[in-house]
Every structure is written in structure tokens, then in C-alpha cells.
């Protein structure tokens, strides 16, 4: 019985989502970007990323090299395509990790209240006093600049916001009568959290997670740009931009293409997030 | 009211201690001891040991922490840089004004632009301008600000030659960086303001105001705005933190000497006291800004204000 | 006594991209100075839409008056420009809304919200001091100590907030007051206080009142005449006596009275009216009550009933009106 209702709920949300043209555009964009990342090898072999052809240095876009070449004669198109893997992966992994950690901490704080809530909230307050990029910088400073540490750094900066959001969502949901009812016939706390509270709190959480993927991608690009993230020769988009800075005036296309891709990926997630907000709460429209 | 302010100020103390502890702990994880970092691994063992003793490296963790805090509170001393062997505080105070100016300028710009366009967009919902605003805001909000900076550098500095591209000597140098930094966050504020206005306009008390005979203009300015701006004010507190972070990155684009370049250099040199000091300095600054915003919020929202004035005489 | 409000064959729809909602379908009634009329019906019958229509407060994007006129003091509200409407609202026609908890602006003091009504319609050119005085007088009138003038809405209980709302509505001495379920959100004891207050004020100032409610008890206490609304139509209309006594009624009215549990009789089950109000986007052909009517005849399913009238008591039902007289 509940499976059927869930199915129609989802299809109802999907129906409302489909009606929103910009949301659909975002979804299409998202599929394209994820597809590019997944099938990067199929689109263009990785070898072209690192293949240096001295004679072809710093050439503008052409039929042979769609996006041009960089100072080592590497094909920019290949590098951008393969760079999508890094950005996407970082965005998704950090968001998911921050979501899980945030959910555990936030749900505990919201549901159990009292001392648990106080301790968690105070600790999160302290974390939130450090500007996110600064926090990530500090982590990277301590641990070193590589992919793994970048992920840790960005996740850490994202967790406090998640905890706060999930805590407030759980607080509102846990006040509902059906939770009282469940408690009154002896359901265990864990079961209540997972089967009653969290599923109904899903809406804002999903929207927030989608938007945060976009933020995470921008943060990663920013950190790599100032040399604190992924290092060359990896074709991560931020690192590509960092490299391209010196050729700002001579070869601006080196800046244009990676940047546009960052923009499009981030835009895709934002559009989808917006679309989900509208689809999940039809009152907000009209 | 002053009770509320006192309470918040007192609360700040454990928070600031916590922040110091957090920053200290994270950066203590940096591998390597002062001696090796400064003199290099090939230096003589005795020299390394001597330096380590000078920096108090071998003391237990909490002793070091308390000494650190003590130095800050009593001597205003953030430690000594491994690289320059000069007080960290000096370097920070020299570089910090540029970063602050950039962050403040961009915050002001983004507030003015974002909030006004957000109101405009909400009031003219469904119009062409509204749709344009939403799309433009979305695009700018998805844009990395440093990339926007680079693009604008090419356009304004190279092609048009209107604005200087590097350095931070005159105020003119700040125009382009502040502008590029402000646009993405203006976009975010636009979206927030718009959503908040739309939500507020839907409230029952707006209908009451209309039923009284208030004109549309009056309804928007006198009734809707104050309520709608409450979440926006809160968001701007956090926005300052983002501005600081963005400023740090923007400095690289525009080659401005500031905290950003200070920190990235320090990180590369493994200059732990410098990184620690800079991070802590900015974090404390940010905490104070958040405190100020909270107090400001209490002034605007009478529900909070009166809660602390009359000792809570509310009847919900 | 002069007629101050006359609604003639009013129809209002809400049109969105997805569907059209037929909220009000050809209603007519009138109100004299000093009279109180009750507008009774279930949720969704079109009562609030009618009220908003009188004030010109229907949502501009979706609502449309497709036929009829709303004549207030001889002028058609539907044709008035926004500026004229703003002069009328709050001063000549006022409205009280259902939920007092959300009807007041949380960041403004109650005094300033009452004073605003005076400020907006300051024909007498009162000074700030005089306005303040009037505000205090009005507060006392609704039973709120004038010292609480500078407090904020959240510091008042539901009943007190509703009094503030009433104060705002009455401070300019309107000719017509529309009360949209003013006591639905309040406790029964507070309900009695508020209703008594509205009646007292009405008697004192000679205000006409349209009392919108789904509660027949409220109607009995306050109204001179009653209109029973169903699916956007007035199915029965008459004086209080016409509706509450006598043996000629619309089947819906009979159902309403029949569903009230009796304090004296013993019964094992309640007697609700079977079925639900029709979907306002898909109204049935013929009589709109037919699907639920115990006395439904063949003609009811296909033809709209005409209006039967006797001494001002109107019933829209085939049982009474001659099929030959059906208008549509």
C-alpha cells in the first residue's frame, strides 16, 4: 500500500517538474554533463590530454583542435572533457559525504534535543564562524594539496550548514502528530528517524544538496585556481584556469572554455535544484 | 535591549575560544617541525632542536594552545613567522586592509544591486523583466567569480583600457575586482530577496493592508519590505564570509597584495604560524560581523527586541 | 431605508493555465442600510470569493468577473478604477478575515495598524495627535486597554487580535462590514464575546454587515436575513424566519439543519448530507445539488432550476419552480 502511494507521489513530482521548462533544460544539461564525465574516454581518448605536440603550441580553436591548444601543445578540448570527471566527482562526493554526516548530526540534534542538541549546535556554530573557503584552505594547508585532501577540506566546510538545515527540518517534522503517535506505540527512536522523520524531510534536503553540489564545484575550482587544490598536469577545470592566467592576453580562449564548462555544470545543478523546489512545493508557483 | 547585547557578547567568548581551538588544532596537523621547515632537513640536528625549543614545539598540545591564546589576549601577538622570522601580526596588519576593503566594497555593491533588483523582480512577477532578471541572476550565481574577473579583465582592461588591471594602489584599482566579486553574490541576494518578497506578499496581513485601502506602493514599502528583508539581513552576515573568501581568490586574479596572497605563499612555505594567524584573524573578524548582524536583526524584528526588553511578555 | 449593496447576477471565475474554476455562478442579493445578512455555505461554496469581489480584492492575474454587477451606493465596483477602490476600501467597506493569527503585520504595532486606516482616509484632516486619540478610543471600544497601543501582535492572544482586526475595520465608520468567518478560528467562549461585540457596534453605528459563516448558530444570533450558498449559487434566500422556520426549503437547507446533532433527541448516528460538493472545475449540468439531493427528479439532472419566490423568500429548486419557468 505505501509503495503504491510513494510511486504516485514521485510521479506527481516528476509531472510537475516536467512542466517547468527551465527545470527540464537544467535536467538535459545535467545529463549532458554527467554523460561527458562518464563517457569522457569514448568522446576523446585520455592520451590526447597529455600528448604534447610542440609544433601546435598555443593555437586558437580550429577543426583539428576544437578548443585550441595550450602552451604545451595539448588539446584543450580533451583536457576540458576529461576535467569534467574531477569537478563532477568532487561535487558529488563532497555533497554526499556532507549530507550523510550532516544528516546524522542534524537529525540527532533535532530529534533528541537537550544536551545532544546543545553540544552539536555549539560545535557547528564554532565551525560556521570560519568563512568556508578559509576553513578549506586551513585543512589543505595542514594536510597537503591533493585530491583526497581537497575533498576532505570542502566537505568540512559544507557540513555545518547541512547540520543546521537538517536539524531545523527535523525539528519541524518531529513536532508533527504522527511522530507522537509512533512514539506512543513504542516504535524505537532509530526507526522513527529513518522511516518517519527523514522521508518527510527529504524535500528541502534534496534541494539543498543539489544546490550545494554547484557550490562545491565552484569551491573546488577556486581552490585549484589559487594552487591549493588539484595540481597540474591534472586537467581539473580550476587548475586549467590557473594555468591559463599567464596567457590572459595572448590566448584568451584558454580561459574561456574551461570557465564556460564550470558555469554550465554549476548552472545545470542550480536549475535542477530550482526545478525541484518548485515541483516539491506547488504553492510556491503562481 | 542592552541585556540582549550583553548576553550575545558574553556568548562570543566561548565561541571565539572554540574558533581558536579549531584553527589551532587543524593547523597543528601540519607535518614537520619548525626547525626542519625553516632550516631545511639537511641542517644540523642541534640547530634544528634549538629552533624547535625556541618555538616551544616539544611542549604538550594544550600547553602550546594556552600559550598561544595567552599571547594573543595579553600581548596581541599571533606568533612568529617561520619564513620571515617577524611577528605574524605585523604582516597581517599590513596586508589585511586591502582584503577588507575589497570584501566590504563588494558586499555593499552586491547588496545594493541584488536587493533592489530582487524587489523589482518580485513586484513585477511574470513580466518580461522578471524573467530576464531570474535568468541573468541564475547565470551569474553559477559563475566562478574569479573567472568572471578574468573575463572582465580582458574586456575592460585589455580591449577597452578603461580600468587598471594589476595592483592595489588607488581606489580605481578596486573597481574591477569589487565589481566581479559582487556580481555572483548579488545574484544570490536577488534570488533570495525575490523569493522572500513573493512569500511575504502572499501573507494574510498584506491582504488586510489592501482591504484598508492601502495603495500597492504603500503595501510593498511599508508592509512587505520590512518582513521580507529579515531573512536577507541574516543571509548577508554569512555573505560577508563568502566575500572574504572570494576576495582571497580575487587577489590572485588581480595581483593585489592582500591576505589571499599572504596565505597562499605561507601555505606553500609551510609557514604554520602565518597561516594559523591569518586564518584566526579573519575568523574572529567574521565572528564579530555575525554578532553585529544578529544584534542588528534584533533591532529590526520587534519579536526578538521585545523578547529581551520586557523579559518575555509574549502571548503566542 | 436605502439599499447600499446590490449584487446582480454575479459570476466570477478563476482561470489558470491548467483549469478554470467556476467559483461564483450568477448570484443576486441586496442589503439595506443597517441590515445584517448571513451568507452560509460549506467551504468552497464561493462565499469568500463573493466578499473579495465586493472589495475589488480578487487576484488580478487569475480572477475574472464574467457577468453581473456589484452596486455599492449606486456605483458598480467591478468598473471602478484602482484608485477609487482604494478610497472605498477601509472607509466605506471594510472586511474582517478569518484567521486573526496571521491577519496582522508582525513588525508594526497594533496602534499604528489601526491608525493607518485613519491616515489613509484622512478626509477630516485630523492631526497626528487626533489620530492617536481616535485609535485609543477605538481600542477601548473593542475592549483593549489603550495602554497596549504600542505592543506588537505576537503579544496578543487570538481573541484579542481579532478585536484589533475589528478595530481596524470599524475605525473609519464604514457603511458596510464584511465579516468572513470571524469566529471560526476562536474558542466558543471567545466566539460569543466577538459576536456580541460586532452586534453592539453594528447597532451603535448602523453599519450593514455581511456575516459569512458555515455555522447556523452564528446566523441565528446575528442576522436579519440569510443566503444559503452552494457551488457558487444562492440556493435559498430570505429572512431569518423564512430560513429557520416554515416548511418550504431547499433540500440543501434541510440537509444542513438535519445534520446538526440534537441536544434533546437521542440518536445513534449523525445525519450528514451524503456526497461532496461538486468539483468547481467540472460543474454538473442541471441542478448542482442534484447528485446529493434526496428529492432529485429527472429534470434536475438536465435543467438548471429557476427561482421560486414568495414574499421575498427565494428558493432555487425544481420542487418549487415550475419547469416551464426555467430561465436557462
A233: cis peptide before it, omega within 30°? yes
Look at phi and psi of residue B61 and say left if phi exceeds 0, alpha if psi is from -120 to 50, else beta: alpha
Which of B204, B215, B226 is opposite residue C97, by nearest beta carbon?
B204
C46 touches chain B (CB under 8 A): no
C62 touches chain A (CB under 8 A): yes
Helix (H) / strand (E) containing C8: strand C3-15
Which of B14, B21, B138 is opposite residue A270, by nearest beta carbon?
B138
Q: Is B213 close to C86, i.e. CB distance below 8 A?
A: yes
Q: Is C152 close to B306, i.e. CB distance below 8 A?
A: yes
Which of B212, B223, B315 is opposite residue C155, by nearest beta carbon?
B315
Residue of chain A with shortest Cα separation from C18? A19
Q: Is A249 close to B23, i.e. CB distance below 8 A?
A: no
C88 touches chain B (CB under 8 A): yes
B316 touches chain C (CB under 8 A): yes
C:173-202 residues touching chain B, CB 8 A cutoff: none
Which of A129, A255, A263 is opposite residue B287, by nearest beta carbon?
A129
Residue of chain A with shortest Cα separation from C59? A286
User: Mean pLDDT over residues C39-47, rounded?
Assistant: 89
pLDDT in tens, A70-85: 777 788 888 888 888 8
Residue B206 DSSP SS3: helix
**How does DSSP assign A220-251, residue by residue?**
HHHHHHTTSSSPTTS--HHHHHHHHGGGTTT-
Contacts of A286 in chain C (CB under 8 A): 16, 61-62
Q: Is B301 close to C91, i.e. CB distance below 8 A?
A: no
Residue of chain A with shortest Cα separation from B136? A267
Residue of chain A with shortest Cα separation from B277? A138
Residues, chain A: 286
- List chains adjacent to chain C, taking adjacency as at least 3 C-beta pairs closer than 8 Å: A, B
Give every strand in the sheet of C63-72, ordered side by side: C20-32, C3-15, C63-72, C75-76
Which of C90, C108, C155 is opposite residue B212, by nearest beta carbon?
C90
Percentage above 90 pLDDT, chain A: 23
pLDDT-derived band at A284, boundaries 50, 70, 90: very low
pLDDT beyond 80 at A27: yes
Q: What is the pLDDT of residue B182?
A: 92
In chain B, alpha helices (H): 2-28, 34-39, 45-54, 61-75, 88-123, 128-141, 145-152, 172-201, 204-211, 216-218, 225-254, 259-268, 272-300, 302-309
Contacts of A245 in chain B (CB under 8 A): 150, 252-253
ipTM: 0.85
Residue of chain C with shortest Cα separation from A16? C18
Cell 595581483 identifies what position? B255
C180 φ, ψ (degrees, to nearest 5): -90, 100
In C250-296, alpha helices (H): 251-258
Q: Is C105 close to B223, i.e. CB distance below 8 A?
A: yes
- Cα A108 from Cα A128, distance rounded (Å): 19
Substitution target from B139, B144, B294 for chain A, most A beta carbons within 10 A: B144
Instruction: With beta carbons less than 8 A apart as the criterion, state whether B228 and B196 touch.
Output: yes
Contacts of C62 in chain A (CB under 8 A): 286
- List chains adjacent to chain B, taking adjacency as at least 3 C-beta pairs closer than 8 Å: A, C
pLDDT in tens, A88-144: 999 999 999 999 999 889 888 887 888 888 899 999 999 999 999 999 999 998 888
Nearest CA-CA distance, residue B313 and chain C, Å:
7
Substitution target from A22, A125, A126 for chain B, most B beta carbons within 10 A: A126
Q: Is B150 close to A218, i.e. CB distance below 8 A?
A: no
Look at phi and psi of residue C92 and say left if phi exceeds 0, alpha if psi is from -120 to 50, else beta: alpha
C102 touches chain B (CB under 8 A): yes
CB pairs under 8 A between B and C: 82
Q: What is the pLDDT of residue B314?
A: 39
pLDDT beyond 50 at C238: yes
Instruction: With beta carbons less than 8 A apart as the criterion, state whether A233 and A83 touch.
Output: no
Nearest CA-CA distance, residue C200 and chain B, Å:
22
pLDDT beyond 50 at A286: no
pLDDT beyond 60 at A285: no
User: Mean pLDDT over residues A187-216, rounded?
Assistant: 79
Substitution target from A12, A16, A18, A286 for chain C, most C beta carbons within 10 A: A286
Nearest CA-CA distance, residue A193 and chain B, Å:
29
Contacts of C109 in chain B (CB under 8 A): 302
CB pairs under 8 A between A and B: 149
pLDDT beyond 90 at C168: yes
User: Mean pLDDT over residues A6-19, rounded?
Assistant: 71
Residue of chain B with shortest Cα separation from C172? B212
pLDDT-derived band at A5, boundaries 50, 70, 90: low
Contacts of C16 in chain A (CB under 8 A): 286
pLDDT tens by residue, chain B, 316 residues: 678 788 888 888 888 999 999 998 888 888 877 777 777 777 777 877 777 777 777 788 888 888 888 888 888 888 888 888 888 888 889 888 888 999 999 999 999 999 999 999 998 888 888 888 988 999 999 999 889 988 888 887 766 666 666 776 777 778 888 888 999 999 999 999 998 998 899 899 999 999 998 998 999 998 999 899 888 988 898 889 989 988 888 888 888 888 888 888 888 888 888 888 999 999 999 999 988 888 888 888 877 766 555 443 433 3
Give every strand in the sheet of C307-310, ordered side by side: C93-96, C176-180, C208-213, C36-40, C225-230, C233-239, C313-316, C307-310
Nearest CA-CA distance, residue B143 and chain C, Å:
33
> Which residues pair with residue C67 across a beta bridge?
C11
- Of C206, C166, C234, the closest CA to residue C24 belongs to C234
In chain A, alpha helices (H): 2-19, 21-38, 40-43, 47-50, 76-112, 114-128, 132-143, 147-174, 177-184, 189-191, 198-225, 237-244, 253-280
Nearest CA-CA distance, residue A175 and chain C, Å:
20
CA dist list (Å): B33 to B29, B36, B271, C177: 11, 6, 10, 81
pLDDT in tens, C83-116: 999 999 988 999 999 889 999 999 999 999 999 9
B172 touches chain C (CB under 8 A): no
User: Mean pLDDT over residues C290-297, rounded?
Assistant: 84
The two beta strands, C93-96 and C176-180, are parallel
- Cα B178 from Cα B215, distance rounded (Å): 38
Amino acid at each position: 500500500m505505501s509503495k503504491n502511494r510513494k510511486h504516485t507521489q514521485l510521479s506527481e513530482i516528476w509531472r510537475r517538474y516536467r512542466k517547468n521548462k527551465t527545470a527540464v533544460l537544467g535536467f538535459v544539461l545535467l545529463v549532458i554533463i554527467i554523460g561527458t564525465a562518464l563517457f569522457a574516454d569514448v568522446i576523446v581518448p585520455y592520451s590526447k590530454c597529455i600528448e604534447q605536440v610542440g609544433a601546435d603550441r598555443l593555437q586558437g580553436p580550429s577543426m583539428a583542435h576544437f578548443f585550441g591548444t595550450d602552451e604545451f601543445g595539448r588539446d584543450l578540448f580533451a583536457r576540458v572533457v576529461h576535467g569534467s570527471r574531477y569537478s563532477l566527482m568532487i561535487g558529488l562526493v563532497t555533497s554526499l559525504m556532507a549530507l550523510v554526516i550532516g544528516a546524522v548530526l542534524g537529525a540527532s540534534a533535532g530529534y533528541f534535543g537537550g544536551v545532544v542538541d546543545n553540544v552539536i549546535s555549539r560545535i557547528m556554530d564554532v565551525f560556521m564562524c570560519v568563512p568556508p573557503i578559509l576553513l578549506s584552505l586551513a585543512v589543505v594547508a595542514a594536510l597537503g594539496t591533493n585530491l583526497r585532501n581537497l575533498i576532505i577540506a570542502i566537505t568540512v566546510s559544507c557540513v555545518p550548514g547541512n547540520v543546521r538545515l537538517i536539524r531545523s527540518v527535523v525539528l519541524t517534522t518531529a513536532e508533527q502528530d504522527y511522530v507522537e503517535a509512533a512514539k506512543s506505540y513504542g516504535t524505537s527512536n532509530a526507526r522513527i528517524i529513518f522511516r518517519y522523520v527523514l522521508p518527510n524531510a527529504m524535500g528541502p534536503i534534496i534541494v539543498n544538496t543539489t544546490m550545494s553540489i554547484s557550490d562545491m564545484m565552484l569551491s573546488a575550482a577556486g581552490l585549484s585556481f589559487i594552487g591549493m587544490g588539484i595540481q597540474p598536469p591534472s586537467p581539473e577545470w580550476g587548475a586549467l584556469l590557473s594555468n591559463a592566467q599567464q596567457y590572459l592576453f595572448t590566448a584568451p580562449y584558454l580561459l574561456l572554455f574551461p570557465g564556460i564548462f564550470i558555469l554550465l555544470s554549476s548552472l545545470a545543478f542550480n536549475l535542477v535544484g530550482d526545478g525541484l523546489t518548485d515541483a516539491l512545493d506547488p504553492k510556491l508557483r503562481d | 535591549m542592552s541585556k540582549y547585547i550583553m548576553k550575545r557578547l558574553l556568548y562570543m567568548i566561548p565561541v571565539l575560544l572554540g574558533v581558536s581551538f579549531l584553527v589551532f588544532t587543524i593547523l597543528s596537523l601540519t607535518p614537520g617541525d619548525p626547525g626542519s621547515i625553516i632550516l631545511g632537513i639537511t641542517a644540523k640536528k642541534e640547530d634544528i632542536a634549538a629552533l624547535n625549543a625556541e618555538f616551544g614545539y616539544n611542549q604538550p598540545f594544550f600547553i602550546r594552545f594556552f600559550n598561544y591564546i595567552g599571547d594573543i589576549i595579553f600581548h596581541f601577538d599571533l606568533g612568529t613567522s617561520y619564513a620571515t622570522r617577524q611577528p605574524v601580526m605585523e604582516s597581517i596588519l599590513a596586508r589585511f586592509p586591502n582584503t577588507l576593503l575589497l570584501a566590504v566594497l563588494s558586499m555593499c555593491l552586491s547588496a545594493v544591486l541584488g536587493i533592489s533588483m530582487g524587489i523589482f523582480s518580485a513586484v513585477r512577477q511574470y513580466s518580461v523583466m522578471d524573467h530576464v532578471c531570474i535568468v541573468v541572476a541564475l547565470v551569474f550565481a553559477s559563475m566562478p567569480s574569479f573567472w568572471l574577473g578574468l573575463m572582465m579583465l580582458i574586456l575592460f582592461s585589455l580591449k577597452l583600457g578603461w580600468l587598471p588591471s594589476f595592483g592595489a594602489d588607488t581606489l580605481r584599482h578596486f573597481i574591477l575586482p569589487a565589481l566581479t566579486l559582487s556580481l555572483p553574490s548579488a545574484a544570490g541576494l536577488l534570488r533570495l530577496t525575490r523569493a522572500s518578497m513573493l512569500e511575504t506578499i502572499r501573507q494574510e496581513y498584506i491582504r488586510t493592508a489592501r482591504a484598508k485601502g492601502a495603495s500597492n506602493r504603500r503595501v510593498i514599502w511599508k508592509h512587505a519590505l520590512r518582513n521580507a528583508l529579515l531573512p536577507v539581513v541574516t543571509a548577508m552576515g554569512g555573505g560577508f564570509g563568502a566575500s572574504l573568501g572570494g576576495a582571497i581568490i580575487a587577489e590572485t586574479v588581480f595581483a593585489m597584495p592582500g591576505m589571499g596572497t599572504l596565505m597562499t605563499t605561507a601555505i606553500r612555505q609551510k609557514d604554520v604560524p602565518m597561516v594559523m594567524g591569518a586564518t584566526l584573524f579573519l575568523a574572529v573578524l567574521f565572528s564579530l560581523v555575525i554578532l553585529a548582524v544578529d544584534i542588528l536583526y534584533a533591532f529590526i524584528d520587534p519579536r526578538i527586541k521585545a523578547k529581551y526588553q520586557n523579559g518575555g511578555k509574549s502571548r503566542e | 431605508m436605502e439599499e447600499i449593496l446590490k449584487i446582480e447576477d454575479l459570476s466570477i471565475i478563476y482561470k489558470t493555465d491548467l483549469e478554470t474554476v467556476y467559483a461564483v455562478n450568477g448570484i443576486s442579493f441586496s442589503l439595506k442600510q443597517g441590515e445584517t445578512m448571513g451568507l452560509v455555505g460549506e467551504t468552497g461554496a464561493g462565499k469568500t470569493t463573493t466578499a473579495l469581489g465586493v472589495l475589488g480584492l480578487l487576484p488580478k492575474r487569475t480572477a475574472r468577473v464574467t457577468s453581473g454587477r456589484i452596486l455599492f451606493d449606486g456605483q458598480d465596483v467591478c468598473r471602478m478604477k484602482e484608485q477609487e477602490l482604494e478610497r472605498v476600501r477601509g472607509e466605506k467597506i471594510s472586511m474582517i478575515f478569518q484567521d486573526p493569527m496571521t491577519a496582522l503585520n508582525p513588525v508594526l504595532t497594533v496602534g499604528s495598524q489601526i491608525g493607518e486606516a485613519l491616515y489613509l482616509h484622512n478626509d477630516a484632516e485630523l492631526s497626528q495627535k487626533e489620530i492617536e486619540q481616535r485609535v485609543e478610543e477605538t481600542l477601548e471600544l473593542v475592549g483593549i486597554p489603550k495602554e497596549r497601543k504600542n505592543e506588537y501582535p505576537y503579544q496578543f492572544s487570538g481573541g484579542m487580535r481579532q478585536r484589533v482586526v475589528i478595530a481596524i475595520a470599524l475605525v473609519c465608520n464604514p457603511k458596510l462590514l464584511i465579516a468572513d468567518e470571524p469566529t471560526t478560528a476562536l474558542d466558543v467562549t471567545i466566539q460569543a464575546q466577538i459576536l456580541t461585540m460586532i452586534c453592539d457596534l453594528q447597532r451603535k453605528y448602523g453599519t450593514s454587515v455581511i456575516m459569512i459563516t458555515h455555522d447556523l448558530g452564528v446566523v441565528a444570533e446575528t442576522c436579519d436575513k440569510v443566503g444559503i450558498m452552494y457551488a457558487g449559487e444562492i440556493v435559498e434566500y430570505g429572512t431569518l424566519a423564512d430560513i429557520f422556520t416554515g416548511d418550504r426549503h431547499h433540500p440543501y437547507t434541510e440537509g444542513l439543519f438535519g445534520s446538526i446533532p440534537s441536544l434533546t433527541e437521542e440518536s445513534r448516528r449523525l445525519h450528514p448530507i451524503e456526497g461532496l460538493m461538486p468539483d468547481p472545475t467540472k460543474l454538473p449540468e442541471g441542478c448542482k445539488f442534484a447528485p446529493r439531493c434526496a428529492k432529485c427528479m429527472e429534470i434536475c439532472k438536465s435543467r438548471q432550476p429557476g427561482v421560486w419566490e414568495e414574499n421575498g423568500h427565494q428558493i432555487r429548486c425544481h420542487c418549487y419552480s415550475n419547469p416551464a419557468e426555467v430561465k436557462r
